[in-house]
Structure 1
Amino acid sequence: MKIRKVTAADLKLGMLIPWNVYGDTGALLVRKGHMIASATQIAYLIERGSFEDYTDSGPEATGPESVLRKLNGACLQLQGLQQAIAGGAAPPGLRRKLEEIATLVGDAISLNVDIATASILHNQRQAPYPVRHCVDTAIVSQVLARARERAPDDIMAVTLAALTMNLGLLEDQQRWHDGAGAFDAAERARMMAHPELSARLLAEVGITDPAWVDCVLHHHENEDGTGYPFGKAGAQIPPLAKLVILADRYCARVSERGYRPAMSANAALRDILLEARTTLHTNLASLLIRELGVYPIGSYVRLINGEVAVVSRRGLQSTTPHVESVLGPRGAPLDVFLERDTRVPLHAIREVLTNAQVAALNAPPLRMEQVWGRAAAL
């Protein structure tokens, strides 16, 4: 496989493009199968476009690494292991298998942290909620642990804890996710007990690592002592567990439920900052905002000129990220996304939109590859 520039000989009016065409930054310009409708499109693609040419490659040629493929692979592997552990039938080499999943998450972050964190907002239907939420929480936990410059063993511990924190809830979690949101007394009791049950299930399969298990046990504690299952406060809560606590709450807020739409990432961070006055660690809440940004990558925004855009990468300042416009000023989907610099007054951010608000505008589902290129391919 080689990357080749689009030439005039490759295109003609009315043809269906036989490959994905990418820009200089790797962002997807036009998807395979798009019909060339004008000479202007041809000129644009010749000027900016490249494609992956497999004509000289063998049958085993593969495309570049993809963050989403790594994360979806982690979800697929985790789903089977979660069910096996909860059912008391752990497979041989369980610890190694869980560490391999944690390594997949870490590799995805290292490949492109922006795509990894944006996937929490735009990759929600690729796995059942109990699985996907754990992988999402593992992403944010590891981002925070790296930002704190924790040792590799600590980074592995928080990642493994996030992947296994809800083993004691597997039978209930998807049903609660899809339901009306009200718990009866028995359900609330199971919710309050699940950190200890999850730790016990890990112990039954031979996993007793203190750092890992402590994070599982304490991932619902609060700084002011109002959490569960122990009601610990402040310094009584293990420092690594505080990373998982914060990641868990952020990921829960930005996930849609049967009884409510997903919050915007910006609103979720605002809520977390308010909670930091009582239930969350103030410095860690600020760290989360610093790492994800005021407008987290993947957030939808409306610009001053009326376009709807998705935040694609950070800008020079946290309040002026780079975005890709996906809907025009009158709400029409754009065949080719337009990169905008929000420092420009006409393209400044007017408001944040939720995924549900954008869907209500009849916007087609966002394919992450359109914004972040081949590293976001499914």
Structure 2
Amino acid sequence: MADLIRIAPGALTIGKPLPWDVFDGDGNILLRQGYVIQTNSQLEQLFERGRFKPRNIEKPGEEVVEAAGNCNPFADYGALLNALESTLEAITSGDPTAQKRLLELSQRLDNACEEAPDATLALIHLYSISPTIHEQILFYGILCHLVARQFGLDNKRASVLGAAALTANLALVPVADQLNASNKVLTDEQRAVIRRHPTRSIEALKAAGITNPLLLRIIAQHHEQADGSGYPNGLSGADILPEAEILALSERYVAMITRRAYRKRMNIAEARKLIATLADGKFRPAIPRALLQVLGDHPPGMLVRLVNNEVGVVTRRAVLARGPFVQAIFDTHGNRYNGTLERDTSMLEYNVRSPEEPEILPSIDVSLLWGFRI
């Protein structure tokens, strides 16, 4: 099939869910999105035989039209990452379509958060074990869109924040994956690159004709801290935009739950506890509270063990007195269900006993788990 593209080495990782369906050269499906590669031999076979079907989500110069209620974040995940990469490349190369690409991508992400918030939030927790820099940036955008609503930002400011989340780390893109993969102490030169990245990202945006003052201020301030200990200008208190604090906290949460070569990742329960402490001096108290409300006690995409010993995936956050809701994938004896069974964890027999956060996730057909049909 002409529309299928060969999988490039490095695009897939052992222990990480597939970001899209994988086909053979004739268009027959080999593996569904969400399948977890277990061995090097499986990986090599996929690089040899595997193809994927790119999904274009925007064309500069055309309007993006989304059918209401037709948003499947899992099906769009690979396309969102491709669009992010091409958008950042357009900015750095001074492409005249860069601003339009950025606005369309930010709007697409906002639509996903509006139409399918639980599924969109689940992307972060399903793909957070060892994300690439582009995945991390996409996660920042998702969290910023969701937290902005919870915090009460108006639509215009929330939209600018979403665009800032996608571009604030532009200057780190060439080196971020290398830094995350290193288990050595950062050199002075590497630390300088990190500290300069807000300024360099702003310079690249301006050169591409993206000059929205609020967007640039958010980026300039997203490493400042309310107690004055941040950089580059040591701002404090109300001198820091709330949008900048939302972006900073989103980045911090993703870093907490992400594995790096130099440290283990924090489990979600530990990360939530640490976020709760950040209301004391580091951030406006309402911003950590807003993030915790967005996540809930058990965020979508998290694996949990229930009191009846089933293991499942959280698919929906709590609504009023019900939930969160879990799709059970392993029975009480550890055997895989043929399909899934929804459990309301507000019922005593299905209460959450403990988180299950393995370094290698079980294979999950994510679209089906959330009830999407492709």
TM-score normalised by structure 1 residue count? 0.75
Instruction: Map 1:158-307 onto structure 2 (within 5 A).
Output: 158-180=161-183, 182-307=185-310
Partner of 2:83: 77
1:256 alignment partner, SS class: coil
Question: Residue by residue, what CA displacement relative to the aligned partner does 1:89-129 show, whole Å, maximum 9, x if unpaired?
Answer: 2212211111011111011112200001011111459x962
Identical-pair percentage: 28
Partner of 2:119: 115
Q: Distance in 2 between matches of 1:170 and 1:350?
A: 39
Q: Distance in 2 between matches of 1:136 and 1:226?
A: 25
Partner of 1:140: 143
Partner of 2:8: none
User: Which letter maps to 2:368?
Assistant: Q
Q: 1:241 to 1:111 in 2, by over 3 A?
A: same
Q: 1:84 to 1:64 in 2, by over 3 A?
A: closer
Q: Distance in 2 between matches of 1:191 and 1:352?
A: 33
2:372 alignment partner, SS class: helix
Matched, 1:323 2:334: no
Candidates 94, 106, 109, aligned match of 2:110: 106
2:304 alignment partner, SS class: strand
Q: Distance in 1 between matches of 2:260 and 2:207?
A: 32
Question: Residue by residue, what CA displacement relative to the aligned partner does 1:63-98 show, whole Å, maximum 9, x if unpaired?
Answer: 954222334322211112323433xx2212211111
Q: 1:149 to 1:286 in 2, by over 3 A?
A: closer
Question: Residue by residue, what CA displacement relative to the aligned partner does 1:157-194 show, whole Å, maximum 9, x if unpaired?
Answer: 10110000111112210111222163121111111111
User: Which letter maps to 1:93?
Assistant: T
1:199 alignment partner, SS class: helix
Aligned residues: 309
Q: 1:369 to 1:101 in 2, by over 3 A?
A: same
User: Which letter maps to 1:345?
Assistant: L
Q: Distance in 2 between matches of 1:149 and 1:72?
A: 30
2:371 alignment partner, SS class: helix
> Which moved further from structure 2: 327-336 or 168-177?
327-336
Question: Residue by residue, what CA displacement relative to the aligned partner does 1:125-170 show, whole Å, maximum 9, x if unpaired?
Answer: 9x96221111111111111122233222211110110000111112
8 Å CA contact 1:142, 1:159 repeated in 2: yes
Q: Distance in 1 between matches of 2:371 and 2:161?
A: 29
Q: Distance in 1 between matches of 2:199 and 2:294?
A: 30
Which one has a bigger Cα radius of gyration?
Answer: 1
8 Å CA contact 2:95, 2:208 repeated in 1: no
Structure 2 runs not aligned, ≥5 long: 1-31, 33-66
Q: 1:212 to 1:112 in 2, by over 3 A?
A: same
Q: 1:213 to 1:299 in 2, by over 3 A?
A: same
User: Which letter maps to 2:123?
Assistant: S
User: Which letter maps to 1:77?
Assistant: A
2:91 alignment partner, SS class: helix
Shift of 1:261: 4.5
Q: Distance in 2 between matches of 1:332 and 1:288?
A: 35
Structure 1 runs not aligned, ≥5 long: 1-30, 32-61
Partner of 2:340: 337
Q: 1:316 to 1:103 in 2, by over 3 A?
A: closer
1:230 alignment partner, SS class: coil
Question: Residue by residue, what CA displacement relative to the aligned partner does 1:291-331 show, whole Å, maximum 9, x if unpaired?
Answer: 22111112111111222121121234589511111222232
Q: Distance in 1 between matches of 2:226 and 2:197?
A: 19
8 Å CA contact 1:70, 1:108 repeated in 2: no
User: Which letter maps to 2:148?
Assistant: A
Q: Distance in 2 between matches of 1:206 and 1:243?
A: 25
Partner of 2:363: 365
1:350 alignment partner, SS class: strand
User: Which letter maps to 1:295?
Assistant: H
Shift of 1:275: 2.1
Q: 1:107 to 1:181 in 2, by over 3 A?
A: farther
Partner of 1:23: none
Q: Distance in 2 between matches of 1:355 and 1:297?
A: 16
User: Which letter maps to 1:171?
Assistant: P
